[in-house]
Structures are given as C-alpha cells and as structure tokens.
Structure 1
C-alpha cells in the first residue's frame, strides 16, 4: 500500500512538471512590425509617394502601390539623409519623410529620433561656426515654420521644401554633424527660441535676395539676421 502511494505521488509530480514545461515553452504569437515595403498597398504608401514626388525623388503615379519606382525613390531618400539603406519605409524613414509613426520617439517633446537628427544636421549645415545661441535660433526658425500656416507642418517638410535651405544643394548638408548642433536641436525642440519668433534668417554679407532683405528684422545673432 505504501509503495502504491509513493508511486502515485511520483506520477503526480511528473505530470505537474510536464504541464509546467509545456506552458513555458509554448510558442508565443510572433509580433511583427507593419512596414511599407515592396508589394505594399496602402494610404501610407500614397503619402510616401506624395512627399517624395514633391521633393524630386519619385516620378511615378501616386497610386498607393509600393512598386520598383517607389522603392528606388525611398532608397535615394535614405542615402541622401544618412538612413539605413534598405528600400523599406520603416519608422525612422517615415519620420524623416514627415509621416507619423508610433516608433522611435525621443525625449519629452515627443519628437522622433529622426526629427532630432534631421534638425541637428540642418543646424550644423546652416550655422556651422555660429555662436551656440545662433545655432539654437536656426533650429527655432525651422520649428516656427512648422507652426506657421504658410509652411509645411512637419520638420522634414520644412527642411526639404524646394529652395528653402541652400545647404541641401551646396554640400554642407552632407558634412559631419557638430555635437553642439544636437544640443541646439534639443533646446529648440524644448521651446528655446533666441530668434524671437522669426521664420526667416539670412547672412547680410552674402544674401543676394532683395525680398528677404525687406523682411522686418527681429534679432541679429552672429552673422545671421532673423526676421519675419
């Protein structure tokens, strides 16, 4: 009788162990991130095509179909902006294009990592050698434009607006980003605005556009004049 009880207890222990192992090792559903890539069809793809067509990367139809032309345009955009070149519109690429993504946010401002990097790169290219307050001011001007009804409503949209920033065409945009520019970008995103609310700036020594010289001046920092 005692032997039977012992065997019964051993069997129960073994059953419990097997049941526990099955629970632990039971395969969990794989969570995959939905990305716009070759073969995708969606409204997001349409937005990607629209943006890249505005900026001269894409020349096909805005049809919401992620085909070869869309993939090639994304690759060109990724190469130009120092992003991972894979032809897939993941969170960082979407953020750089200016399309909302739930991934990749950074800091209390809610700005994505790509937004910070893009703003820092532009600040570095436009205000290299300027006082730190002047670097922050350039970042603030970009953010002021985002909020202004006359400009695109994203950081990427403002920066890549045709003809808005000469650094995209003169090679400065592709130069290494100064460490101070990252700090300046974060300060601007946190609301610091030495420009005084300006939406334009220029160097009076090199500026040849008479229209920009007619704008009301708010502040002068370093070699830049900030105006409305």
Structure 2
C-alpha cells in the first residue's frame, strides 16, 4: 500500500478523533436529564429501576414518566429529606445514585457478593453488599458501585479473578436487599476473615459485628 495513502489515512483518523472524540466522551459522561411527568427517554427506565430496587416503584419499568413514577419519586424524596416536588433534578439524582442501583450496578453487586461470600449464610451475603452500599454513601470512597467494587486492593475476589464468576439467584436477592437498606453490619465499611487477616491496620478498626467467618468494622 502507498505510504502517502497510509499517512493521509492516519491523519484523517486523528482529525476525526480530535473533532468528535471529546464531545462523544462528554456525552457519555453527561449527568442524567432532569425528569418530570411527561418525560421520556433512556434516563426514565434508569430512574424507575433505581426506585424499584429500593421498593418505591412496584410496576413494570418503561420509558415514560407517568403518575406512578411521580408518586414513587415523591415518596423517595420525602424519606431522604429532599424537596418532594416529583422532579428528578441534580440533587435527587445525586442522592439516588448513592443509595440505589441500576441493572448493571445490581449485576456487579451480585457478582462481588457471590465472589466474596458465596459460602456464607444469607445474612453474611447481604452484609458484603451492605459494605459496598455503605462505602458508596461515605466520604473517601468512589462515588459509584463499580468504582467502590473495583477500587484497587478493595476486594480480594477482584484481584484473584473470582469476581468473574456468574452469581446465583441468592446473590442477586442479597444484592437487592442490600440496596433496599438491609444492613446487618451496623454501618460497617470493612470486613475481614480473622483466620487469614495479616494486616495490623484492619485489626485496629472498630468492630461492629461478626457474621459467619467475617468480622465487620468501621
């Protein structure tokens, strides 16, 4: 192939990436739209699914913001100290993302629960999910479920590959309960197996409860 043609082609690709790459990245990273009664589009099912995982929205997820979505959203806003205006604006979205999960995030939560605690009781599995949700709401941790789970050295199962295993139905149920606020750890941000833990730091944390093989701490 002609070298001049290759050089020209590469230049065209670079110009295309410079011209369109940033806007595309910005669009992908954009905040969800402000939603209210009558709104439609891809952010509506995200909103409904998050409300559904928390027990506020009890019907099928759609792409339309109707009266059922309005009622569900207003209940959520009221219980979380927000203006109960039924409008999903920036503050509502920010709060919702710290205490809920969409479908992809629920998948990730079920995966880490299964990887870290599949040999534990149901309560022990929910406890692992609760730690993820507690970190999501706490300062000093990533602000997304994926970020919390995949933070370097945060969870052993991510590092050793068990995170890639397919979670079972119990792990998904545990994930849903953790998202709904069931927290048997009493607000724990960490947990460890005392039989294999070698870190002096983790032993220095205030312990909240022991469930199965794990000690939970803040």
TM-score, reference length from structure 2 = 0.59
1:102 to 25, 43, 53: 43
Task: Name the structure 2 match of 1:208.
Answer: 198
Q: Deviations over 1:173-212 (max 9, x none)?
A: 1122122110000000000000110000000001111100
- Please tell me whether residue 156 in structure 1 is matched to residue 146 in structure 2: yes
Cα offset, 1:108, TM superposition = 4.3
Q: How many Å separate the matches in 1 of 2:24 and 2:136?
A: 21
Bigger CA drift: 107-116 or 40-49? 40-49
Flag the 1:114–1:103 CA change in 2: closer, same or farther, 3 A: farther
What pairs up with 1:41-120 in 2 under 5 angstroms?
A: 41-42=21-22, 45=25, 102=43, 105=46, 106=49, 107-109=52-54, 111-120=101-110
Q: Which has the larger radius of gyration?
A: 1
Partner of 1:194: 184
- Structure having the higher helix fraction is 2
Structure 1: unaligned runs, 5 residues or longer: 1-37, 50-100
What is the CA distance between 1:153 and its match in structure 2? 1.3
- Which residue of the other structure, out of 116, 125, 133, is the alignment partner of 2:123? 133
How far the C-alpha of 1:45 sits from its partner, in A, is 1.6
Aligned residues: 141
Q: Aligned partners of 1:44, 1:151: CA distance in 2, in Å?
A: 27
CA RMSD between the two structures: 2.5
1:178 paired residue number: 168
Q: Hey, what's the Cα distance between the residues in 2 that align with 1:214 and 1:176?
A: 34
Structure 1 Cα separation of the partners of residues 24 and 212 of structure 2: 42
Where does structure 2 lack aligned partners over 5 or more consecutive residues?
1-15, 30-41, 55-99
